């Protein structure tokens, strides 16, 4: 595959990028620069842009999944409270 080296570079960079309190952090340009210097991989500006684009897509997908988990948990919590209130109402009757 012609662009597999970019995918492999992104995977290596992503594995070394720590997560923040709110989830994954973006790969910084400084991390990409250090990666290029340490590995000797030659990347042109378009390659760097593709790595950043891949990372943006990844971060977007992770945010969507986190929002969905939060929504599902909120529904669960809301139903739990509603069912407890319903049990109290029945017991009061």
* 10-14 mean pLDDT: 97
Count Cβ atoms below 10 Å from residue 9 Cβ, excluding itself: 22
Question: Which residues does residue 28 pair with via DSSP β-bridges, in sequence order?
Answer: none
Residue 84 has pLDDT above 60, yes or no: no
Q: So what's the pLDDT on residue 90?
A: 52
Q: So what's the pLDDT on residue 83?
A: 54
* 16-28 mean pLDDT: 92
Q: What ranges do the domains of the chain cover?
A: 4-92
Helices (H), ranges, the chain: 4-15, 29-39, 45-92
Residue given tokens 């986190």 in the structure block: 66
CA 65 to chain centre: 8
Q: So what's the pLDDT on residue 47?
A: 97
Per-residue confidence band for 70, with pLDDT thresholds at 50, 70 and 90 = confident
pTM of the model: 0.75
């Amino acid at each position: 595959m012609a662009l597999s080296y970019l995918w492999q570079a992104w995977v290596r960079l992503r594995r070394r990028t720590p997560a923040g309190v709110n989830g994954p952090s973006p790969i910084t340009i400084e991390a990409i620069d250090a990666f290029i210097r340490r590995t000797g991989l030659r990347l042109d500006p378009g390659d760097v842009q593709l790595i950043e684009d891949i990372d943006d897509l990844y971060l977007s997908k992770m945010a969507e999944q986190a929002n969905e988990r939060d929504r599902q948990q909120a529904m669960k919590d809301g139903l739990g409270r509603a069912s407890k209130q319903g049990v109290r109402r029945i017991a009061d009757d």
